[in-house]
Amino acid sequence: MSMADEVITKILKVSNGLGIHARVATRIVQKMQEYSCAVTLTKDDVEVDARSVLGLLLLAAAPGSEVLVKAKGPDGGSAIQEIARLIQSDEPQG
């Protein structure tokens, strides 16, 4: 299996004060443009593309909820770290 075929998964707890709201979702989508891997987030059996603001909002991921992040591609680990930084930060996103 090559690095490009490797699938990395990680469960992340949403710990920012507002959950995955519009501003955070927009920042995730913007940041994912820097990566070549395919990234999805799953919560309560709903799986969405990390490059879709509407999809991310559809998760309704409130503070304290857990999401499964899955990345397939050579830079998947870095993409997951970036998502973790965005959804676990108390800093204003904007």
Q: Which residues does the annotation mark as catalytic? A: 21
Secondary structure (H, E, C), the chain: CCHHHCEEEEEEECCCCCCCCHHHHHHHHHHHCCCCCEEEEEECCEEEECCCHHHHHHCCCCCCCEEEEEEECCCHHHHHHHHHHHHCCCCCCC
